Amino acid sequence: MKEGKTGIEVSIAASIAAKLARVEVVAAYPITPQTHIVEHLSELVANGELDASYVNVESEHSAMSACCGASAAGARTFTSTSAQGMELMHEILFIASAMRFPIVMAAVNRALSSPLSIWGDHSDVMAARDTGWIMLFCENGQEVVDSIIMAFKIAEDRRVLLPVMVNLDGFSLSHVIEPIEFPSQEKVDAFLPPYDPLYTLHPDKPVTMGAYGMPELYTEAKYAQEMALIDSKKVVIEVMDDFGKRFGRSYKPVETYNTEKADTVFIALGSINENIKTAIDMLKEEGREVGLIHLRLFRPFPSDELIAALKGVKRVAVIERAMPGGAMNSPLFNEISSLVHSNSMGIQLNNYIVGLGGRDVNPEDFHGIIDDMLSPEAKKETPKEEKNYRVIGVRG
């Protein structure tokens, strides 16, 4: 890979990142919009550029199962999926986290059927949010590459040993060509040494994985797993800092944009944050100051960082690309609401659902959201209707 930036499709870049991380086993089943990632990886493995084993399994359920097996045997393991594929993996997502397998998965976020849609939103990952995986969300292609490399370092840390899902939006991120800088192999090798598993299936030192957890033990096992997930935030931050020092691009679990002067902010996940920044710049030209809190880490939920970011904020518009499914609000909103209320922060919170099934979201939509938040109606503490959110642009 040449020095400097290369114009490249983000999916291809993601597979190059997995190669730079020297993955050893890849098991995957194709699904739009994830296909280019696994196709390219299969090629890199077949032509010897990547010394790994690649298996074209017969479904995503098998893909995640094979990844668990490979990880149990001590291999650095990678896969990728989208939408229905992630749902079909669901059973095994829990197994991967509970058996503490440091698998990394690129989740190319797409809407769930039905109606059948191949386009992007977050309904797939939101349905998997409580599977015990560490979850990162990417705003652009560079972040996808860097996050995949960091994900292995986080996952394999002995204090963590948990799988990491790197989320990137289908099409609006996966299929665009962006200028991306690839770190050199030497630098990645120095940052990410070979995986040294704590426990592995080995004939010389047999272990049992996934044994029965009787009622007197199950709770403790789950508690230990949960603590590991919560404590992984420290490692996430450490790894992000270390990455920044070595590669010159630093990341934080929570980042802000134009929040210094603004008391009204958006909070969102994924590539939509770039659109929001554009909208914020346009609003600035009109003399209106609005900010953005951008969540890069979703699991474990970065509460302290969010509390710090919310200092001085009066109004928050939580933007989400998934339906609440009968809940009071969408998943991200519920987390933020819980944080704000349990800390008596007294912030006005509003919930907006946008961009379902690939629906375009324009700067004007964000302008409309700001106007909506400032309306007397929006300030009311309790919602008039049961529905405590607005679906932007919905007809009928």
Partner 1 sequence: MAEITRLIHEYLRHDKKFPHVWCPGCGIGIMLGALIRAIDKTGYSKDDIVLVSGIGCTGRLPVYVDFNTLHTTHGRALTFATGIKLAKPRLKVIVIMGDGDAVAIGGNHFIHAARRNIDLTAIIVNNNVYGMTGGQYSPTTPYGMKSTTTIYSNVEHAFNISELAVTAGAVFVGRGTVYHAKLLDSLMEKAFAKVGFSVVEIISHCHTQFGRLNRMGTAVEMMQWQRDHSVTVEKAAQMKAEELKDKFKIGVLVDRELPAYQDEYEKVRKWAKGTEKR
Ligand X SMILES: Cc1ncc(C[n+]2csc(CCOP(=O)(O)OP(=O)(O)O)c2C)c(N)n1
Q: Which residues bind partner 1 (CB under 8 A)?
A: 29-32, 35, 38-39, 42-43, 46-47, 56, 58-59, 84, 88, 113-114, 116
- Smallest gap from Cβ 28 to partner 1, in A, equals 8
- Smallest gap from Cβ 40 to partner 1, in A, equals 9
How do 25-28 and 53-56 pair as beta strands? parallel
Q: Which is nearer to ligand X, 57 or 73 (CB)?
A: 57
Cβ contact 67:129 at 8 Å? no
- Smallest gap from Cβ 89 to ligand X, in A, equals 9
How do 134-137 and 297-299 pair as beta strands? antiparallel
- Smallest gap from Cβ 295 to partner 1, in A, equals 30
Among residues 266, 269, 268, the alpha carbon closest in space to that of 280 is found at: 266
Size of site (CB under 6 A) for ligand X:
7
250 binds, among ligand X, partner 1, none (CB under 5 to 8 A by kind): none
Angle in degrees, CA 154, 149, 13, rounded to 5: 150
Q: Which is nearer to ligand X, 83 or 229 (CB)?
A: 83
Token digits for 192? Answer: 């990410």
- Smallest gap from Cβ 71 to partner 1, in A, equals 21
- Judged by CB under 6 A, the chain residues 248 through 277 that form the site for ligand X are none
337 binds, among partner 1, ligand X, none (CB under 5 to 8 A by kind): none
- Give the Cβ contact number of residue 178 at 10 Å: 17
Q: Which is nearer to ligand X, 60 or 335 (CB)?
A: 60
Q: How far apart are CA 280 and CA 268, in angstroms?
A: 13
Token digits for 236? Answer: 């996430």
- Smallest gap from Cβ 280 to ligand X, in A, equals 36
Q: Which is nearer to ligand X, 64 or 267 (CB)?
A: 64
- Judged by CB under 6 A, the chain residues 49 through 108 that form the site for ligand X are 60, 84-85, 88
DSSP 183-201: PPHHHHHHHSPPP--SS--
Q: Which is nearer to ligand X, 112 or 267 (CB)?
A: 112
Q: How far apart are CA 221 and CA 355, in angstroms?
A: 39
User: Residues for the chain: how many in total?
Assistant: 396
39 binds, among partner 1, ligand X, none (CB under 5 to 8 A by kind): partner 1
Q: Which is nearer to ligand X, 16 or 31 (CB)?
A: 31
170 binds, among partner 1, ligand X, none (CB under 5 to 8 A by kind): none
Q: Which is nearer to partner 1, 253 or 358 (CB)?
A: 358
How do 164-169 and 134-137 pair as beta strands? parallel
Quick note: the x/- pattern for ligand X over 334-353, rule CB under 6 A, is --------------------
How do 348-353 and 315-320 pair as beta strands? parallel
Q: Which is nearer to ligand X, 54 or 257 (CB)?
A: 54
DSSP 257-319: ES-SS-SEEEEEETTHHHHHHHHHHHHHHTT---EEEEESEEES--HHHHHHHTTT--EEEEE
Does 30 contact ligand X by CB under 6 A? yes
Q: Which is nearer to ligand X, 29 or 366 (CB)?
A: 29
- Smallest gap from Cβ 32 to partner 1, in A, equals 6
Q: How far apart are CA 279 and CA 371, in angstroms?
A: 13
Q: Out of 31, 41, 144, 272, which residue is the one contacting ligand X (CB under 6 A)?
A: 31
172 binds, among partner 1, ligand X, none (CB under 5 to 8 A by kind): none
- Smallest gap from Cβ 29 to partner 1, in A, equals 7
Does 365 contact ligand X by CB under 6 A? no
The owner of tokens 């009928």 is 396
Cβ contact 265:290 at 8 Å? yes
What ranges make up the beta strands (E) of 19-133? 25-28, 53-56, 77-81, 104-109
- Smallest gap from Cβ 60 to ligand X, in A, equals 6
Residues lying near ligand X in the complex (CB under 6 A): 29-31, 60, 84-85, 88
